[in-house]
Structure 1
Amino acid sequence: MARPKILVVGAGFAGVECVRRLERRLRPDEAELSLVTPSSYQLYLPLLPQVASGVLTPQSIAVSLRRSRKFRTRIIPGGAIGVDVKAKVCVIRKITGEIVNERYDRIVLAPGSVTRTFDIPGLVDNARGMKTLAEAVFIRDHVIAQLDLADASQDEAERASRLQFVVVGGGYAGTETAACLQRLTTTAVKRYPRLDANLIKWHLIDIAPKLMPELGDKLGASAMKILSRRGIDVSLGVSVQKVSPEEITFTDGRVLPSRTLIWTAGVVASPLIATLGAETIRGRLAVTPEMNLPGDEEVFALGDAAAVPDLAKDQDGAFCPPTAQHAQRQGRKVADNVIASLRGEPLRPYVHKDLGLVVDLGGRDAVSKPLGIELRGIPAQAVARGYHWSALRTNVAKIRVLTNWVLNAAAGDDFVRTGFLSRTPVALRDFELTDSYLTPDEIREHVEEPGQGVLDR
């Protein structure tokens, strides 16, 4: 009798935790496990700002899936671009460009999210994101390049515009990105004797009335003081009206000459979710507390792509936030429920209360709220880095990250570009291929009439 096929889409926190749990709790003869991902590593997203600022090397937060000798899941190198839940088929575009139909008995959808953008003129053509490893490395090259180009320029106006940097998004990603990169440029400018350090200016913009409101008023105010002390200009209740290669117009009427816009204004569920034709809540797939489609125990969804009811909160309509903490725990619970569905056992709901928040602002600056306890400075930094270090999946990754932290603390930053700017500059539209997904009609065509480069499995 053929083994049932379990297909997991996505190698983020949710997908990898699910696969690891399935491998531990299922015998090899019980099911065939497959994981769809374009890259055979798990990216530790919370540390991306430290890669962008050069504190960590890119390899240190790209945790290889193939290093483990016990890893027996088949990796399908590509991206899921459509799902037909009636036919139980996932349409995959491999990294070779070949489109294949992968049949399944159970599917776990953990495709994550993409950067949320708006219909702002020039945004996707001129802004840079902070969602992928390549974007973080590119941003580091770009920022250092602005210092080099400003140093080489004889035009005072061009020099000033290259030294103005804008980060949009007052959440954790945006705040940490602005703080870490500001620290990088402040240190780097000392090596550029022709540049006036006072010309370097970082701007943090957010439409919300508060910076990181989840931290609470006191810690939020502490974070604001740290940013202000460093000279970062924080503008709240403001957004971007339009963007050009050389200037940014804000909704309050200001026009800022700048060559750098880093966009971190939230995320939305992967476009894969829209291909299912199922109910969504603010773009996230509506699921039960057990994280399966209502009435369908063969399709599960979790992480950033799913609206998972938050049963730990005493209010109707509350959903789990798209954080790594929830994604990891949801991955383990979904794995248990997938196994239960195969064995004819009852599914169990996901319940988890957030354990706290950590924000690393670089150097000795941090604010943290573990288990509701408010911390600042070095204690907060110890908690933040201790949490991230312990959450890394392999000992190799832990050693690399710890070594990078120690080396950076002892020797300081390096200001070396790695060559990403030797080709045509790229922006948001180039890194996140959100237009590569199929429509429901195209999915049916691939499923019902395989061929033309489509392999029917």
Structure 2
Amino acid sequence: MTVTRPRILVVGAGFAGVGCVRRLERKLSTDEAEITLVTPSSYQLYLPLLPQVASGVLTPQSIALSLRRSRKYRTRIIPGGAIGVDLAAKVCVIRTITDEIVNEPYDYIVLAPGSITRTFDIPGLTDHAYGMKTLAEAAYIRDHVISQLDLADASDDPDERAARLQFVVVGGGYAGTETAACLQQLTHNAAKRYPRLDPRLIRWHLIDIAPKLMPELGDKLGRDAQEILRRRGIDISLGVSIAKAGPDEVTFTDGRVIPTHTLIWTAGVVASPLIGTLGAETVRGRLAVTAEMCLPRRDGVFALGDAAAVPDRAKDEEGAICPPTAQHAMRQAKRVADNVIANLRGQSMRPYEHKDLGLVVDLGGRDAVSKPLGVELKGLPALVVARGYHWSALRTNVAKTRVFTNWMLNAVAGDDFVRTGFQARRPTKLKDFEFSDAYLTPEQLRERVEGTGGKAQ
């Protein structure tokens, strides 16, 4: 009789998924379980540093950490994305990068599909806005911003030139604020290389519907961050959003019309649409799980990261859930891996609990604001803390070396403002990067699994 090893399927290669896989590889012997990871790309993206890729401070490769470099690497990687999970049949339906749809049976599943950009029903938004959630988007936005400078420099039409040199970023959270700050630094430095351009025509707008910029920082640091950005010439509008977006202008909800060819949308995230295929209870769109990160009444189903509403036991508030940050995802990954192993071995599982260590915001150049362990910092001390935190959080020594070298080289030599060719002649916008329409409906999922008897194909 052949004895098969239990199959552990991990969905997603972000901080949560990769951290879980790495711990499973270290703690499980090869004959205890078979580990499979579902991800479109065989790398872990260090998401917090994307704005620095967009601004050219870091190269794309430096924050894409290969999953195949680990000495203990033995995980089977399926190159694709999970588009549906049948909990009753214990089958995950996957669309591979070649658009083939396959069934992957499992005994244990760890759901860490992350999040996608949150959009609203705003006319023209998904057709004309750019996102900042993937490595391709960051590289693409860099090319696009530099191309606007090139086109403005070549144009003799003052209206076209002005429109090319106005940039709008929506979202006053960390992603939006850092994106606006880093890209403004890029255009400010680049303007010196375009003698035909008047630097005063380059305008950056940062808008958010909330009354404060990065409210998690507190009033004082939030004001400090605003002051830094305004001193650089970034127009900040709070309590304002987008009413509609077009190919060459954006209309704000306060009635202003801004001629621009660049709208970057970073107004929050929502859990991956994969969660909607499970038919399970959700909290604010995230999968409701226990403190042990298990799905109630479903044996062998775990969830963590941005897609899971993990109870925040470190807070006294009733119903508090962990924020979707890398800090929590990395720590949840270790606990969920330990709980999978405990479940596999018939041992008791432990709940997740972590007290937030603070926040860091790198505003480009020598500007930063940070709040490590509640201590408010700005300027160079904050920059040292911010970059030190990111550097230490990188998973491999190769990535640490690349990032540190990039920082040093950029500090000494600056940027070359070169377009790398990611921008095709056909514009690629928000709707083209995240494949949010690729997921199965519950009916399609049932038909798919029942039609194949739940077997792998």
Report TM bin, short chain. Answer: over 0.9
Per the alignment, residue 456 of structure 1 pairs with 456
Q: Return the alpha-carbon distance in structure 2 between the equivalents of residues 257 and 443 of structure 1.
A: 44
| SS of residue in 2 equivalent to 1:432 | coil
Q: Secondary structure at the match of 2:330?
A: helix
Q: How far has the Cα of 1:420 moved from its partner?
A: 2.2
Q: Which of 379, 397, 400 is the matching residue for 2:399?
A: 397
Secondary structure (helix, strand or coil) at the match of 1:91 reads strand
Structure 1 residue 413, shift from structure 2 partner: 1.2
CA contact (8 A) 2:7 2:107 kept: yes
Q: Partners of 1:184 and 1:97 in 2: how far apart?
A: 37
Paired amino acid for 1:456: A
In structure 1, the partner of 2:140 is 138
User: What letter corresponds to residue 42 of structure 1 in structure 2?
Assistant: Q
Q: Which moved more, 1:68-77 or 1:313-322?
A: 68-77
Counterpart of 2:310 (choices 308, 326, 335) is 308
Q: Can you list the C-alpha shifts for 1:351-399, whole angstroms capped at 9, x where unaligned? A: 0010010000011100000111111111100000000000001000000
Q: Alpha-carbon deviations, 1:149-202, whole Å to 9, x = none?
A: 001111100100110000000000000000000000000011111111000000
**Match of residue 222, structure 2, among 220, 223, 247:** 220
**Partner of residue 176, structure 1:** 178
1:382-393 equivalences in 2 (<5 Å): 382-393=384-395
In the TM superposition, residue 345 of structure 1 has moved relative to its aligned partner by 1.3
Structure 2 counterpart SS, 1:203: strand
Amino acid at match of 1:392: L
SS of 2:423's partner is helix
Q: Give 1:152's aligned amino acid.
A: A
Distance 1:456 1:343 in 2: 26
Q: Following superposition of structure 1 onto structure 2, how do residues 276-295 of structure 1 map, counting pairs within 5 Å? A: 276-295=278-297
Counterpart secondary structure, 2:384: helix
| Counterparts of 1:146 and 1:254, CA distance in 2 | 22
Question: Deviations 1:329-353 (Å, cap 9, x if unpaired)?
Answer: 0011000111111111111111001
Q: Secondary structure at the match of 1:456?
A: coil
Match of 2:52 among 21, 33, 50: 50
Alignment partner of 1:165: what SS? strand
* RMSD over equivalenced CA pairs, Å: 1.0
CA distance in 2, matches of 1:25, 1:75: 19
Aligned to 1:159: 161
Give, in angstroms, the shift of residue 291 of structure 1: 0.6
* 1:439 matches 2:441: yes
Structure-1 separation of matches of 2:330 and 2:74: 20
Q: Give, in angstroms, the shift of residue 455 of structure 1.
A: 6.6
Cross-structure match for 2:86: 84
Residue equivalent to 1:62: 64
CA contact (8 A) 1:175 1:204 kept: yes
TM-score by length of 1: 0.98
Counterpart CA distance in 1 for 2:293 and 2:25 is 20
Residue in 2 that maps onto 1:263: 265
**Aligned ranges 1:270-349 → 2 under 5 Å:** 270-349=272-351
Contact 1:297–1:341 (CA<8 Å) still a contact in 2? no
Return the alpha-carbon distance in structure 1 between the equivalents of residues 373 and 297 of structure 2.
Answer: 36
For the Cα contact (< 8 Å) 1:207–1:238, is it kept in 2? yes
CA shift for structure 1 position 421: 2.5
Q: Find the counterpart in structure 2 of residue 17 from structure 1.
A: 19
Shift of residue 69, structure 1, vs aligned partner: 2.7
Counterpart residue type for residue 189 of structure 1: A
Give, in angstroms, the shift of residue 213 of structure 1. 0.5
**Aligned with 2:340: secondary structure?**
helix
| Aligned residue identity for 1:335 | A
Q: Which of 177, 201, 204 lines up with 2:203 in the alignment?
A: 201
**Helix, strand or coil at the partner of 1:29:** coil
How big is each residue's C-alpha offset from its partner over 1:69-98, in whole Å with a ceiling of 9 and x where there is no partner?
311111111110000000000001111221
Matched to 1:352, the amino acid is H
Which of 238, 244, 252 is residue 240 of structure 2 equivalent to?
A: 238
d(CA) in 2 for partners of 1:233 and 1:110? 37
Counterpart residue number, 2:151: 149
Aligned partners of 1:99 and 1:455 also within 8 Å: no
What SS class does the counterpart of residue 421 from structure 1 fall into? Answer: coil
- Displacement of 1:68 in angstroms is 1.8
Number of corresponding residues:
455
Runs of 4+ deviating beyond 3 Å: none
Alpha-carbon separation, structure 2, partners of 1:421 and 1:403: 26
State the 1:422 CA deviation.
3.4
Tell me what 1:363 maps to: 365
